[in-house]
Amino acid sequence: MTAASELSFFASADGDIAYLDTGTGDPVVLLHSGYVDHRLFQAQIPALAAGHRVIAVDVRGHGWTANATKPFRWADDLADLLRHLDAGPAVLVGVSMGGAIAGDMAIEYPELVRAIVLSGSSVSDFQYTHEATRKSVAESHRTLHSGDIEGWLKIFLGAVAGPFRSPDELDPRILDHLRDMALHTIAKHTPGERNWHIPMTDTWSRVPKIDVPVLTVNGTLDSPDLLADAELFAGTVRNGRSVLVEGTSHYPNLEKPEEFNAIVRDFLRAL
């Protein structure tokens, strides 16, 4: 697992952005899901760094990156970092929230994006409609804002399993890994603090303009509405396709890392 001492830091206009920069070749940027950090990709970093320059970022408010003190967008942060590193255009590989950031980048900063891989995500203003998932998300927000961290962790790890399984059906090492990262990020924040993030809106109307290669990779056991939206995303862009990983939910990169890595490497070779 990556040690904090291996990270580099970019002095942005609002605090340091932490990232791991390893390997050589065409750049591939890894963007993690919400509440965790770059260590989500511990199985992807060495596999992809064998043939590429891999940049794994802690997005603002997560991991070792500074919290916001003024309005911001994650895509703007990433654009500043890629320009600083002279690492564009890059292939962006994002899981959940990270996939939404990758999509936002393709819309807002196409000159910095060579291709995108979205896993467990679609557009950044996606809203769950599947009833069980929608209730879980609402309860997650309520418990987190109330400061009930253990209650929130239970809901968070339940969501990792997806709407059709219980956490007991997952490898406990996956749950422990996610728990450790989530607790590290949550410790950076206080209940009820101001959310400075500015979300992008009306993204669907701009998705057809994305003209870089797009791959969506999703677990067959993830929320049905998310799967439908990912399929729609792949079919709406000019050059997109979708792949399903059987027997996984929101984190196919954790549940079946070798299969996930092979899918991404095949995509990279085809560019």
Q: Taking a C-beta distance cutoff of 8 angstroms, is the pair 97, 90 a contact?
A: no
Q: Where are the domains of the chain?
A: 4-127+200-269, 131-186
Nearest to 24 by CA among 53, 63, 66: 53
First to last CA, the chain: 29
Which letter does DSSP use for residue 56 in this model? Answer: E
Dist CA 108 CA 137 (whole Å): 27
Q: Count, in order, helices (H) and strands (E) of the chain.
A: 9, 8
The CATH H-level (homologous superfamily) assignment of domain 4-127+200-269 is Alpha/Beta hydrolase fold, catalytic domain (3.40.50.1820)
pTM of the model: 0.94
Q: What is the pLDDT along the chain (271 residues), one digit of tens a residue?
A: 555 669 999 999 999 999 999 999 999 999 999 999 999 999 999 999 999 999 999 999 999 999 999 999 999 999 999 999 999 899 999 999 999 999 999 999 999 999 999 999 988 887 656 666 666 666 656 666 667 888 888 888 888 999 999 999 999 999 999 999 999 999 999 988 899 999 988 899 999 999 999 999 999 999 999 999 999 999 999 999 999 999 999 999 999 999 999 999 999 999 9
